Amino acid sequence: MAVLSFLLSGLLLCWAGVCAAIPDPRQREALMQQEASLQTGGRMALTEAERRLSAHLRKLKQQEMAGPQFPPAMHFFKARPLIQRSPIFSLLQRMPKGAVLHAHDFSLVGVDWLVKNVTYRPHCYVCFTQRQSVRFRFSAQKPLPQPQCSPWLLLETLRGKTDNITDLDNSLIHNLTLFTADPEAAYPNQDAVWSRFEETFLAALGLVTYTPVFKDYFYQGLQELYKDNVMYLELRALLPETYELDGSTHDMAWTLKAYQDVARQFISQHPDFLGARIIFTVHRGLNVSEVKKAVEGAMRLQKMFPEIMAGFDLVGREDSGRSLWYFREALSLPAELGVTLPYFFHAGETDWEGTEVDQNLLDALLFNTTRIGHGFALTHHPLAKELSRKRGVAVEVCPISNQVLKLVSDLRNHPAGVLMSEGHPLVVSSDDPATFGASGLSYDFYEAFVGIGGMSAHLGTLKELAINSIRYSSLSPQLKDKALALWQRKWDKFISENSP
């Protein structure tokens, strides 16, 4: 006689005094489905064609996992050629991904373009620093000497005297990116990689802030995003002074207006692109009074350019910079004056649990941040995590950045895996694609979809991530509706062209 007995709503089957403790498969199935419904995209309704494409993606993912090398487990610099050959990657490139909400002004355009196009323009001078780096400056006459740098050389003259120009150009390219064949040897720790990271920025600075280049650079950056099926950008920008050939300079307002003009021009030539908004950033190495001035500047700019200006943030390495709490007097200024200045703080881009810097996450929320840049440490902070979820403060997850800057090595271990499995508000972004040898958004989508999300992530996940990038943008409700409608048309076309 079989005796049935319910154990924790599972079944305990007994036969002739021997009990099989196998839990009820139906119960198991129900629990698995319930858990799956919690993840990002877990409740997304899929059409028949979408379900077919999702099943196809699942098969491709299984093949990728069965291969001898699994790209998300490898350093991106080594994984890149494998990713480029991946059929999942090529689908992600074609997929309308919505918006890039976390990227920086000096890393939008592939560095090849800077060397092959920009450094070949007339009047480009170069000098060599003591730390094996380069600086550039366009000038009608030889520029004034730069401290800690060799005398300026006209690049055209240098090229004329060089036997192998390809080698020279490759070394310049190398100066502008972290990309290298053996990243583990080149960057043994976070200090080493951050130090080179800052050098790449200084090398690009003199090229990008030359007035005519500045506009071309931004246009080219939008072009790269557009080609990768991204339709909108929120750019963190330092709004540096730009300079002319005669050494005269333009101020911050000029720079912001230049972004606005270029974005408008780009939209007029690409009506299915929605443009860009700017998050004004300053370096977290500044002191309180300097940041106070910057916040005042941000409020002024917001009044002058409400269309393009989205808000304010602090940039630079969190571990070595100052904390948000240190800046509290500056950051509370807008609220005290009754002015709304949205914040988009980088916070929790650290491995150092429980330090002053780690506190930035909670402080970002206390200062009413609109989104959280990185939030890498968020899973260590249950209260901050709950606040972020309740208030719909999305986390901007930048997988490749976190790996290259050595917060995590195998992307299957990225903490956003926890956030994705809980359906936490999040978007995927690229941070500094050119510096990392990436471009557009597809590489980061690949790492998030294949590595961080693993087998759980499906087409519904991708769909929700793309929709999130519009939902959590700084666009007005009307523009969000317009963006979503436009995205949906692109999505439907993508599905009909790619569903098996």
Ligand X SMILES: *[C@@H]1O[C@H](CO)[C@@H](O)[C@H](O)[C@H]1NC(C)=O
Look at the block and give the residue holding tokens 């690949």: 446
The Cα–Cα gap between 314 and 301 comes to 16
Select 137 or 406, whichever has its Cβ closest to Zn ion: 406
The Cα–Cα gap between 296 and 303 comes to 11
CB of 164 to ligand X, least distance (A): 4
Q: What letter represents residue 124's amino acid?
A: C
CB 288 within 8 Å of CB 327 = yes
Select 61 or 135, whichever has its Cβ closest to ligand X: 135
Q: Are strands 276-283 and 309-315 parallel, antiparallel or unpaired?
A: parallel
CB of 286 to Zn ion, least distance (A): 17
Is 374 catalytic? The answer is yes
Catalytic one among 102, 374, 381, 414?
Answer: 374
Number of residues that bind ligand X (CB under 6 A): 23
209 part of the interface to ligand X, by CB under 6 A = no
CB of 167 to ligand X, least distance (A): 5
Is 349 catalytic? The answer is yes
134 part of the interface to ligand X, by CB under 6 A = yes
Number of residues that bind Zn ion (CB under 5 A): 1
The Cα–Cα gap between 161 and 152 comes to 15
117 part of the interface to ligand X, by CB under 6 A = yes
The Cα–Cα gap between 99 and 445 comes to 12
Burial 444-457 (b: 16+ CB within 10 A, else e): bbbbbbbbbbbebb
From Zn ion, ligand X, none, which one binds at residue 132 (CB under 5 to 8 Å depending on kind)?
A: ligand X
Select 91 or 237, whichever has its Cβ closest to Zn ion: 237
Tokens of 397: 């997850």
From Zn ion, ligand X, none, which one binds at residue 15 (CB under 5 to 8 Å depending on kind)?
A: none
Q: What is the DSSP letter of 449?
A: I
132 part of the interface to ligand X, by CB under 6 A = yes
From ligand X, Zn ion, none, which one binds at residue 92 (CB under 5 to 8 Å depending on kind)?
A: none
CB of 245 to ligand X, least distance (A): 17
Task: Report CA 498 to chain centroid distance, whole Å.
Answer: 26
CB of 390 to ligand X, least distance (A): 13
Output the CA–CA distances (angstroms, integers) from residue 9 to 14, 19, 26, 132, 179, in the order listed: 16, 16, 11, 67, 54
444 part of the interface to Zn ion, by CB under 5 A = no
The Cα–Cα gap between 280 and 278 comes to 6
216 part of the interface to ligand X, by CB under 6 A = yes
Catalytic one among 64, 224, 349, 396?
Answer: 349
175 part of the interface to ligand X, by CB under 6 A = yes
313 part of the interface to Zn ion, by CB under 5 A = no
Select 297 or 423, whichever has its Cβ closest to ligand X: 297
From Zn ion, ligand X, none, which one binds at residue 431 (CB under 5 to 8 Å depending on kind)?
A: Zn ion
Neighbours of 166 (CB within 10 A): 8
Burial of 185 (0-12, 13-18, 19+ CB in 10 A): exposed
The Cα–Cα gap between 437 and 186 comes to 15
From Zn ion, ligand X, none, which one binds at residue 119 (CB under 5 to 8 Å depending on kind)?
A: none
Select 128 or 305, whichever has its Cβ closest to ligand X: 128
From ligand X, Zn ion, none, which one binds at residue 117 (CB under 5 to 8 Å depending on kind)?
A: ligand X
199 part of the interface to Zn ion, by CB under 5 A = no
Helix (H/G/I), strand (E/B), else coil: 95 = coil
Select 355 or 368, whichever has its Cβ closest to ligand X: 368
Q: Are strands 2-7 and 10-15 parallel, antiparallel or unpaired?
A: antiparallel
The Cα–Cα gap between 405 and 389 comes to 26
164 part of the interface to ligand X, by CB under 6 A = yes
By CB under 5 A, what part of segment 423-442 binds Zn ion? 431
CB 466 within 8 Å of CB 97 = yes
Stretch that binds ligand X, among 2-10, 166-174, 433-441, 491-499 (CB under 6 A): 166-174
Select 228 or 431, whichever has its Cβ closest to Zn ion: 431
CB of 64 to Zn ion, least distance (A): 28
234 part of the interface to Zn ion, by CB under 5 A = no
By CB under 6 A, what part of segment 365-384 binds ligand X? 367-368
Q: Are strands 2-7 and 98-104 parallel, antiparallel or unpaired?
A: unpaired
Select 164 or 478, whichever has its Cβ closest to ligand X: 164
335 part of the interface to ligand X, by CB under 6 A = yes
DSSP states of 401-467: HHHHTTS-SSGGG-THHHHHHHT-SEEE--BSTTTTT--TTHHHHHIIIIIISGGG--HHHHHHHHH
Return the axis-axis angle of helices 48-66 and 477-498, rounded to nearest 10°: 70
Residue nearest to Zn ion (CB): 431
Instruction: Compute the radius of gyration of the chain from its Cα atoms.
Output: 25
The Cα–Cα gap between 21 and 25 comes to 12
What is the binding site for ligand X (CB under 6 A)? 117, 120, 128, 132-134, 164, 166-168, 171-172, 174-175, 216, 220, 287, 289-290, 332, 335, 367-368
Give me the active site residues, please. Answer: 349, 374
What is the binding site for Zn ion (CB under 5 A)? 431
